[in-house]
Amino acid sequence: MGKRITAAAGLAAIALTATACAGGGASTPKSDNTGAKSSGSGTELAVPTGPVTITFEEAMTIGTLKPAMDKLVSDFQAKYPNITVKLQGDPDYATMYTKEKAEVQAGNAPTIGQAYESWADYFQSAGKLVPISDLAGTDTPAEMSTFYKGIQADMKLPDGKTWMWPFNKSVLILFANADLLAQAGQSEPKTWDDYATAMKAVSKNGVTGSTIDPGSATGAAFGTQWFEILARADGANLYDADGTPHLSDPGVVKALQYMKDLKDANALATGKNYPGETALGAQKGVFDISSAAGYGFENKTVGGKFKLDISALPSGPSGAVNELTGTNIVMFSGASADQKAAAWAFLKFITTPAEQAQWAATSGYLPVTSQAMTDPVMQAFVAKNPYETAAVSELDTAFTLPGFDWIFKCQGYEATAIQEVLENGKQPSDALNTAQGACTAAKAQG
């Protein structure tokens, strides 16, 4: 009996060790070039006639986004009753990226999924994506020409091919407490110089002009994107097309110095978890730079306590500059032929003008095609939300960072530099020199 229990306990220990050490494989997906042909066959995939189920990894699980997503799916399924779209909701993008990587690694990827440009680069490098040319028969399908120019550019990876289809796109806009602004004798800022003046003027009696989330080493936030916009608006170039960083260039340093000056004048604060929105709602902040798609959340936070003014971002010496936010959709190469055809039909369907109008009016994201703007649903939405016209107009010129996998890391280094300057008093040039070195190393590692 004693020996048996000894053996059992020993086996239990070994089993536990095995359990605890489960895994251990590499997390980089093995390269698999099936379905990753780079040129189109010239023939567009036809909508399948038999029953097909496609899966869609998405994060539209909250607030107005969920009904908007459900409507897209129900409209599509009404038109194609033989196709079922199964949504796989994720709570946030960090979790979604981990999950998509795990699914791809396990050969269990969804048919389609939301992806940032850098994610798409990661999956494409491993041969796990289907190029649009395999679906449409061409790298530039007819629908693409109706999309805003910024959107069109965003569909391609650095190899110049179209790998993504647009989905929840937006740009940053300026939310402001119109009442507090008027009390301080200020008006809607048209330039970043005006903005600095207004920020300093309203920062008194316990009110701080704006509170931003600078982001963190693991990811960018709206504060990081504002920094990038400031640099570009002043004519600076953050990254070359091949991803070469210029984070310590004088124009970029000037953008961070602009933010530091505001912080030193007690007109700018930092925080986490949508701090600008919270401060605005508490009437402790006057401005919040956030995504146009965040309108619903801002409006709820304000709750009618004051007049919420919404406008396009101020401009700089290089004119009106904005950054595209949100994700695209990619198709994973593990999908069957029928699933690819069905998913392609879905992708085209959701970017039709009528569906884009419905989607934009419900979700707050911007329509990717100008044709949606003449739809009655969209016109009614614009009548109630005049900021939409200005936001949409920036989709032609909004920039995106080069779609390399490691750009995500570089944005983390930018965020760290912003934190170091605004929270720890470091000099912008020193902080950005560190970021430049780290980003250059990340690029070299690939």
Partner 1 sequence: MAGASRAGRWARRVLAVAIGVAFVFPFYWTVVISLGHPGEFSDFPPVLVPHWDWSNWSRAWHSAPWLRLFGNTILIASCTVVLCLITSLLAGFAFGVLRFPGRKVLTLVVLSVLMMPGTVLIIPDYVLANDLHLLNTYWIQIIPWGASVFGIFLVRQFFLTMPSEILDAAALDGASRLRFLRSIGVPMVRPALVIVAINVFLGSWNSFLWPVIMTNSSMESSSTVQPVEVGLSTFANAEGTDFPGLAAAVTFTTLPVMVFFLLLQRQFIRGALSAAGGVRG
| Lookup: tokens for 8 | 């059992």
Per the document, the length of the chain is 446
Nearer to partner 1, 152 or 339 (CB): 339
Angle, vertex CA 70, rays to CA 129 and CA 277, nearest 5: 90
**Residue 134 tokens, joined:** 């395999």
Kindly state the smallest distance separating residue 103's Cβ from partner 1, in Å: 7
Q: What strand order describes the sheet that includes 112-115?
A: 83-89, 52-58, 112-115, 325-331, 165-170
Range 48-107, binding partner 1 (CB under 8 A): 59-63, 65, 86-93, 95, 98-99, 101-103, 105-107
| Smaller CB separation from partner 1, 300 or 307 | 300
Phi, psi of 381 (to 5 degrees): -65, -45
242 neighbors 441 (Cβ within 8 angstroms) = no
Site for partner 1 in 10-49 (CB under 8 A): 10, 12-17, 19-25, 27
Q: Residue 304 contacts by C-beta under 8 Å, 6 or more apart in sequence?
A: none
Collapsed DSSP state (helix, strand, coil) of residue 128: coil
Give the residue with the Cβ less far from partner 1, 90 or 405.
90
Q: In this complex, which beta carbon is closest to partner 1, that of residue 287 or of residue 297?
A: 297
Take residue 318 and report the two structure tokens written for it: 């290089």
What CA–CA distance (Å, rounded) separates 222 from 230? 12
Judged by CB under 8 A, the residue of 296, 385, 396, 429 near partner 1 is 296
Binding mask 320-359 for partner 1 (x = CB under 8 A): ----------------------------------------
d(CA 390, CA 4): 77
Q: Are strands 165-170 and 83-89 parallel, antiparallel or unpaired?
A: unpaired
Q: Using CA atoms of 89, 90, 91, 92 in order, give the dihedral in degrees to the nearest 10.
A: -130
Least distance (Å) from partner 1 to the CB of residue 63?
6
Number of residues that bind partner 1 (CB under 8 A): 67
The CA–CA distances, whole Å, from 21 to 16, 17, 101, 434 equal 8, 6, 20, 36
Cβ closer to partner 1: 91 or 235? 91
Q: Mask: binding to partner 1, 248-277, rule CB under 8 A, as x and -?
A: -------------------------xx--x
Q: Could you say which of 68, 112, 236, 302 contacts partner 1 (CB under 8 A)? A: 302
126, 287, 311 from 282: Cα distances, Å: 47, 12, 20
The distance of closest approach from Cβ of residue 226 to partner 1 in the complex, given in angstroms and rounded to an integer, is 16
Residue 305 interacts with partner 1 (CB under 8 A): yes or no: yes
Residue 404: CB minimum distance to partner 1, A: 21
* Residues 354-413, interacting with partner 1 (CB under 8 A): 364
List interacting residues with partner 1 (CB under 8 A). Answer: 1-2, 5-6, 8-10, 12-17, 19-25, 27, 59-63, 65, 86-93, 95, 98-99, 101-103, 105-108, 273-274, 277-278, 280-284, 291, 293-294, 296-298, 300-305, 364
